[in-house]
Amino acid sequence: MASGSAEWNEEWKEFQVELKINVPLASSLLDFLRNHNAPADGITFFSGLSAPLRWGEVVPTHFIVNEGRGKSESEKPTDPEFVIITPPRGLGKSPEEARANRISMYPELVRMGNLIR
């Protein structure tokens, strides 16, 4: 399981999710990426605890789960499983350094996206 909220400054509380993670598929994807020398890491969470999600994962999955991609109620998935993929954050000691780090990651992220397709 993974869960999180987009709550910030007492706003956006309605954006909360608790997701079932497809662990075998996530593990297979991680192995595939590593076998192709992609810089990929998995997350580990303890049994019985949810993996934490940030707003960047919560908001889109909230709409997938609750809105069903615009489908009627009977067409919505009843118990979807997820594999969460998020890009690295590109941190730096200053906004300029963080931006430069993100720009330098671009070619590798494009290559990773092409591998996943």
**pTM summary value:** 0.72
Candidates 90, 88, 91; CA nearest to 41 is 88
Stated length of the chain: 117
3-state secondary structure of 7: coil
Token look-up 């906004």 returns 95
pLDDT per residue, tens digit, the chain (117 aa), is 889 999 888 888 888 999 998 989 999 999 999 999 887 888 777 777 788 888 888 998 888 887 765 566 666 667 789 998 877 766 778 888 888 888 888 888 888 889 988
Candidates 9, 4, 22; CA nearest to 62 is 4
